[in-house]
Structure 1
Amino acid sequence: MATARRRLRRLAEVDEMLLAAQWAAVHGEPRDDRDPMIHPGGDGTPELREYALAELAMAQETHAMTARSLIADTLDLMHRLPRTWAVVAAGKCEPWVARRVAVISRPLLAGPVDLVDRAVSRAIAGHAPSTVLELARAKVIEADPETHAAERDRIRHERYVRLSRSDEFGYRHVIARVTAGDAAWVDATVERVAEILASTHGHDHNHDELRSIAMGWLARPVDLLKLLLDHAQTDASAEPEQPAWAPDHLADTVERLCALPTRKLAALRGRGHLFVHVTDAALRSGTGVARVEGVGPVMVEQLAELLGHADVTLQPVLDLAARPRSDAYEHPEPVKDHVWVQAGGDVFPFSPRSATRGQVDFDHSSPYDPAGPPGQTGPHNSGPLRRRHHRWKTHGRYRCRTAGPGRHLWQTPNGLCFLVDRSGTRRLDDDEAELMLSAPEGVEIHPDPGRWAHG
């Protein structure tokens, strides 16, 4: 029974991949000169209309980049790794493993990738996923060492440091891709600070907790330097006055730090922006939940931990009952603030609300008409969109209209309709869509949520 269900699940994933390949084939030619084509797969795979991605994603109730990955992996398997695809299509292996092999081998040209296909097709049905992926990486290097070297050079430009979404307790992951050498030094510094903190925190924190606290010290270089100096193990008879490993400017740097006034020392940490949304009741009581952009919900008491000892600049509270409007095409900053708070993030269907204010364009839901009536720019006709989503709406025949404060109605080129609001993205049936699309300007229609639940 377990074996049969596993095979059915695999074949269901294969059906989804076949549908993605069929969608790519249907949209394999541009409609006109302004219809851009993309090449999601590797060398030897067909092109696809970029504007077709979003509609497939909406139908699958997922993000467009997820749909793009599905199409790219499927086309790679069909056109570049046909032996491996035959094993996948028969339900004899996990499709996700084959898709990962497609990603690993994508930098290779169509000819050399055959070496990967032959090796993986013989192993993917009988070996653990980690073994198959390790084999694929080895064969990619063997198939084209020059491309691998070029890829290594390209990858160095893809180093990054990012923050995860906050969990419900106000904690986040710091995710970084750095060189092995830098990683070793960061790890050694964190370990050393954790050892020092153990003397004061060790009774109530395990070693991993201490390392987590130590990581926070890296963001406070002056405090960190003082901590390390206070706990330096000095032995004048064993070491010279300046260690051999120390840079020549070490003494001069320490002197400059000592000469800086307190405010300038604090400024070494740089400046950041933290957007906090909290009710007046929570402010008065000091209890409740606040929402921090890029972090998520936190207890009001935790705001002190987020702000630390930083200088805080407070921005005025927005009155969402107001309806600011402008005659200009460009959105004034007060209008942007209002639209951003009202929408809560990117308003494209199924788009994650992880974008920050600086990562979006403020787009007119109904196109701006220079000869039209005054007051076209405002929360009544605006929504934040990532640049990619903005371009799709402008050129990809996706229709949008504001359906109320923080509510946006979307229609795809083939007539699928979705409502995006604070509760997420919901598909509308034909009657609901027609009712909302035909509503006069300024009239809000709220379909019965129960119909969605049973639709």
Structure 2
Amino acid sequence: MSSGPSETSPEQLLQAAEECLLEGRRVEVRKLDVLLAWADSFSGDPQDEPDAVPIRYGGPRLIALGGEGTPKVSDLALVEIAIARRESVFTTRRRLADAFDLRHRLPLVWAGLQDLRCETWVGNKVASMSRKLTLEQIFLVDVAVSEALDEAPARILQIAEAKIIEADPVAHQERIDANRTRKGAWCSRSKPGASVEGESAGVGSVFARIDEADVEAHREIIEDLANALAAHAGPVAEGDEPLPMDHWRAEAFAMLADPAAVLAFLRGEHPTDTPETDEAPAAPTPSPAPVASVVVHVSADAETGLLNPVARVEGMGPMLLSQVRDLLRRYAKVTVTPVIDLHAGRSVNGYEHPTDVKTRTELRTIGDVFPHATGTFTRTGRAPDHDHTVAYDKHGPPGQTGDHNDTPLRRHHHRAKTHAGYRVHQLGPDRWIWRTPHGLHRLVTTGGTTTITAGEFHALKALAMELAGDYAA
């Protein structure tokens, strides 16, 4: 832009920001196009050329870089294009493998990248993750990921991960079994010079590879014990900063080396509480079984009624049903709560959103519904603010609070909506339209965020009240 910042309006700066984003994506796609065109020019067998140096003497040969169904390329031809790209041949090979997979194995995702729907690196990552699948298996991944390209990168990769597991559950079970044979725990040892280095003096590290169910069990006990230790520490001195929870988690982990001390501490027993007596100490009472709430999303085949072999576990991601069974087997008592019908709606007369409404909204949306937001509710463990899309009026009609008037937001986005001039209208339980203070318009659904025009915004706005009214019970 030729004009200085002081001469540029906020609307022009926003337009420039969008143009830069799309141009960056366009350039990245163009780089893949050029790389593919170069590979196509060297896809013939170099050994068929006159006077070709035999392979046994170091001559060029065809190599396969991508997954099943992708073409081969002359290996030595990639050296020169790597120079032009100013990167190593190894990096060029990896990028060409991704490009081959996108063009030949993930055509729907490739079309989405060419339409600039998401960052190219996301498509490259999906191609790399799914490389071992067959052409028949990868079709499932291509369809699901292409439909999700308007979502945040983390969500796209979660969907890709789930579909890769679903496409070949046998291979995933083999990965799990192989990893479980490589479990272990490692404790660092002091190295020469460590005692005078700032971050190494007096501390060590512990690293462990254990089953996922065991990780969750350790996470729970460490978190509970850390909170108890922090509470027992009492208030900090005036002027001092409280110790962070990471400190107390480390103390809790160290305390696990003495299980008896952990049990005594959690019962409120301390060395000074033990009376001097010749009587044998009473046998410790067994600790109660751990309690956990696990939300599992499963689907069934429409024709056979059989459960899909892959489930999505809130906070943990996609898992085989066998993994879910292993996770639940740890607990002596399992209570299955009723299935939540995400198609149902409910409204109440009070200001507060009922728990069942909050739960349905969070399960429908998965994360923050602010435009292009990336936060998910279960990954961080922090509950969202359930904001009334249309502000609550204590003198207004009944039924203002419910699925039809619930916008889940992180606190920062909630503050922006409330105080910074954003406008939002809800088109039902899982669709919102937004207008920013300087005139950007977005449609947010469970499939992600898409750009809409001002005309589309106003047309949808006219439908918002009618649609929301129909949904409210």
**Given the two structures, how large is their TM-score scaled by the length of structure 1?**
0.44
**Given the two structures, how large is their TM-score scaled by the length of structure 2?**
0.43
